[in-house]
Amino acid sequence: DAEITQSPRHKITETGRQVTLACHQTWNHNNMFWYRQDLGHGLRLIHYSYGVQDTNKGEVSDGYSVSRSNTEDLPLTLESAASSQTSVYFCASSDGGHNEQFFGPGTRLTVL
């Protein structure tokens, strides 16, 4: 069965370190998204991609970057982790248009 996976599921890091969160989908979807979810907020879009070599900034992109070298993967990098980036991160994908998004299980990141 097609799926979308994230790794690691939990990560503790220190302020200033570079961290990369992996997202891998086997749906063959063109569109991939990274969100963060914090108490009191809805899901907030960090970055998104509509296909290989395409990346776009979302609402809260400062301090994050992504790359899309193939259809399956959209890794999210925190260049220099800050405590404000402690959050739960969700990756999602969709097959384009206005279709539903499929979510990964999430990564809980703690920056000390």
- Cβ neighbours for 104, distance < 8 A, ≥ 6 positions apart: 4, 5, 6, 23, 25, 90, 91, 92
**Closest to 29 measured CA to CA, from 70, 76, 67, 71:** 71
Say whether residue 98 binds another protein (CB under 8 A): yes
Options 23, 46, 48, 64; binder of another protein; rule CB under 8 A: 48
Number of residues that make up the chain: 112
In whole angstroms, how large is the CA radius of gyration of the chain? 13
- Of the candidate spans 7-15, 20-28, 71-79, 101-109, the one that interacts with another protein by CB under 8 A turns out to be 101-109
Told to check if 26 binds another protein by CB under 8 A, we report no
- Find the binder of another protein among 9, 10, 17, 41 (CB under 8 A): 41
Let me know: does 87 contact 36? Beta carbons within 8 Å.
Answer: yes
- Pick 85 or 94: Cβ nearer another protein: 94
Interface residue list for another protein (CB under 8 A) = 31, 33, 35, 40-45, 48, 50, 58-59, 90, 96-106
